[in-house]
Chain A
Amino acid sequence: MTLRRKLVTYSLTLVTLILFLITIFPFFIIVINSAKASLEIMTSPITFPKHWGQLLTNIKIIWSKPTIRYSASLFTSVVITFFSLLTISIFSAMAAWVLVRTKSKASTFIFLLFLSGLIIPFQVVMFPLVSLFRIINETTGIPMLRTFHGMILAYIGFGAPLAVFMFHGFIKSIPKELEEAATIDGCNKAQVFFLIVMPILKPIFVTIIILNAIWIWNDFLLPSLVLGVGQDVQTIPLAIRAFAGSFVKKWDLIMTAVLMAAAPIVVGFLIAQKHIIKGMVSGSIK
């Protein structure tokens, strides 16, 4: 390597490192300040905490705060995210498959209908959605607002357009012969889908699950409308809002709450990191 090349490589490495430090700086701030008491955080927000033991005290406070109800909120977030991901991916794959394999006016129209969902911003439908959920409750007696199933149904509806679109593109590239061979071997249509097609779709499943997991886990506006801020059923972002949005800014506890809200998904990311990066890169060129 020539000296010039070496110099370029070194300076690029240095620039990357600086940008990386800027990127993780807020995380550093969260961690050091989660271990401070309220006076300490006011006077010295950029120094290391005097006693790291304060972190445990703060976690205990957040855990038992009646407004946050951390364990219940975590449970709600996990249940809603898990079932939404499961239903969005399987239902969308099923829909995309029959749409690709059935050539009819109906299938073209329905595919276009799903596509139109990609350009409708949430703001246009959010107020009427709440109103519709209330109407469903009044006419059928099934409660939709402040319920798990109402929330999951909403996520399927908003998640389906992109998922159907991505599955549709992928399924088009799968040769039909494979499915025909399975039919000759005696598979019925459902078996063809679940035993033959679904395993082939694995990479696109991973991408769709990752994209939706990040969105659903962090979503605030939709749950705030369907579940309500400060109500019985609340996800973690709603809990943070109910706590931090109140008048007095208790920064020491807010930082701890933020740490506890971010920890599950960051840990999940670190574990599945390889797949996520790969899924993001391959999903993004589509």
Chain B
Amino acid sequence: MGKKLKSKMFFWLFLAPALLSFIIVVVIPFFMGIYYSLTDWTAIAGIKPNWVGIDNYKNMFKDIAFQYSFIRTFVFTLLSVMTINFVALMLAFLVTREIKFKNFYRAGFFVPNLIGGLVLGYVWQFIFKSVIPQIGDALGIDFLSNLLLLADPTLTLFGLIFAFTWQYAGYIMMIYIAALLNVPQELIEASEVDGANFFQKFWNITFPMIAQAFTITSFLTLVNSFKQFDIIIALTNGGPSDIYKEQIVNSTELLAVHIYNVAFKYNNMAEGQARAIIFFLVLSVVSMAQVYYNKKREVEM
């Protein structure tokens, strides 16, 4: 066997396990998905899907529940990105300072991230439903006693954001820690000599220096907020009901949950698939725009 052929065989042999799995699990289903979204696919074995063109897409945009879910997902994502990054940056600041037990705190803030969204959703459901009203009673604070976070369609979204921030901020904190440790100490000291106060130091030195981390963290929080599924399933399961354009809708049925429900609960696989394709397009555009915008602001070292 020629040396060249041997080396070519070796290339494909080493590549095959990862590449074939990826093709079977992602590439083929991706193209199948595009095709299915243009048919009346039912996922029932033995029934051949018929071509329907863009009917599924037309129905989607007419669907009030979809419109509502779309808007809610944007609101949830925007607020989550802000709160998670704010909390994470604050935590990172605190644990890179000269305080005692900072390694212990770093580990502690990371621990919620180990618990899966499904499991922690049940924990927060219990806290919101039973624990907070009890604390209100014990302290005599009526506001807390009557705070039914999961019964009010407006408040529930904040409950979700709170639980998600609790879980995810420690992970994002790790990225900020890495970035903060890379900020040259001489720059900070030089500015201190010049008499800069805390906020001046932050805005003019630290913030531009960690801009690269900021691009990554915004991207990660944006994508993960947009795709949120597990916490919602366990915490609210989409509820409680709300009224939108004179129709009953589920107040926390964000896009990922909406797609799942359309496919399984309302038994419409093809329409669920069409919504998933739109989900993909919107997420790609929004996340790429975000990365492009942030990249422009990064300082070159």
Contacts and interface: CB of A to CB of B under 8 A. Distances in A.
Nearest to B31: A128
A220 B116 contact: yes
A153 B114 contact: no
Contacts of B255: 123
B127 A26 contact: yes
A239 B28 CA distance: 30
Interface in B17-35: 17-19, 21-30, 32-33
B287 A119 contact: yes
By size class, the interface of chain A is 35 or more
B99 A16 contact: yes
B229 A221 contact: yes
Given A220-B116, A220-B117, A285 B170 contact: no
Interface stretch (A53-61, A65-73, A91-99, A171-179): A91-99
Interface residues of B, number: 92
B113 interface: yes
A91 B260 CA distance: 31
A29 B280 CA distance: 38
B185 interface: no
A170 B236 CA distance: 42
B15 A95 contact: yes
Contact of B227 (A121, A158, A255): A121
A107 to B, nearest CB: 8
Contacts of A262: 114-115, 119
A150 to B, nearest CB: 10
B33 A97 contact: no
18 contacts: A16-B94, A26-B123, A33-B126, A45-B134, A46-B134, A91-B18, A94-B15, A98-B15, A99-B15, A153-B21, A158-B25, A158-B26, A220-B116, A221-B229, A262-B119, A266-B111, A277-B103, A285-B182
Interface of B: 7, 10-11, 14-15, 17-19, 21-30, 32-33, 36, 43, 45, 90-91, 94-95, 97-100, 103, 105-120, 122-124, 126-127, 130-131, 134-135, 138, 166, 170-171, 174-175, 177-179, 181-182, 213, 216, 223, 226-227, 229-230, 233-234, 255-256, 259-260, 263, 269, 272-273, 276-277, 279-280, 283-284, 287
Given A26-B124, A262-B115, 7 more contacts: A45-B126, A124-B277, A138-B45, A164-B18, A220-B117, A266-B114, A269-B111
